[in-house]
Amino acid sequence: MRRTLILLPGLAFLAVACDHSAGYNNAMAECESSAIQAMEAADPDPDQRATWREEHIRQCMAGKGFTE
């Protein structure tokens, strides 16, 4: 049962990730790279890194014209 609970979210993410255009995927890759570099420079608290990264990517994608 535990394997199923772990595997299902991963499969759902994969299905959604494959549903985007090449332009979206390229923008996401650029924003993720930018988030990593910015996070290294900003050095947020360890317990805030996930939220910080998500917000950076959200703002980056919005700047490229993509919204949720």
Q: Which residues contact 38 (CB under 8 A, 6 or more apart)?
A: 56
Greater model confidence, 47 or 68: 47
The phi, psi pair for 18, rounded to 5°, reads -80, -5
> Minimal CA–CA distance to 33: which of 1, 2, 67, 64?
64
| pLDDT (0 to 100) of residue 1 | 43
Q: For residue range 20-58, what is the model confidence (pLDDT) as tens digits?
A: 899 999 999 999 999 999 999 989 898 998 999 999 999
Compute the distance between CA of residue 23 and CA of residue 14 in angstroms, rounded to an integer.
Answer: 17
Write down the pLDDT at residue 5. 42
